[in-house]
Amino acid sequence: MSKISLRVIALAAVMLSGGCQSEKPLDEQQQHIQDVVAAGGVVDSIFPIAVHLERFRKGAGDNPDTLRNASASVDALVQRWVTAITSSDTAQLNKLIISRAEFAWLYYPESKMSQPPYEAPPELLWGQLLASSDEGARAVLKAFGGQAIKLKTVRCPTVVTEGPNRLHEGCVLTLDLKGATQPEGAYFGTILERNGRFKFVGYTNRM
């Protein structure tokens, strides 16, 4: 049986420091792990996931209990995103995605990636999420930042339930730019819904 050893502490330190970009977006990392497991391999680490999560939470802060600065619907969240892009407001964009504490306490424990047979350490996924989300946000700001864009339609065709979390995936938008309707496109990643509150998991896209 093949085995992949993840030196997660050193790897996470590099990714979270911003010293380099992750080689794979989060969804590609998930697919990579799934492919390894499907081929009969395992994802291994020095410590069990419970230990990784305990250590990760110590650096993440207290349990937020709920999604903070969240929106009441997908449409409301995406409209806030449009407003932030229009004004090139990176501070507001940062508020619309889950924080490290929300990832540690609310998102990751319910994710299938924290469970067998995957058991990907939280610091690995968080680091790759940060890298791919930052890259996606920069691409959208380069394309639309500071321009008068309007939201026409929002469509999230897939909803996955993980415990109390509902993940709205594959979201695509139709935008109006300077009076011209743009082709439907995917400009961000999964939207997390928890107890009727909505935030972006990240801004990963393929622009």
Q: Where are the beta strands (DSSP E) in 8-95?
A: 42-44
Determine what percent of the chain is predicted with pLDDT higher than 70: 78
CA pair distance 117, 120, nearest whole angstrom: 9
Model pTM score: 0.78
Domain ranges of the chain: 3-200
pLDDT tens digits, one per residue of 123-157: 999 999 999 999 999 999 999 999 999 999 999 99
DSSP annotation of 107: I
3-state SS, residue 151: strand
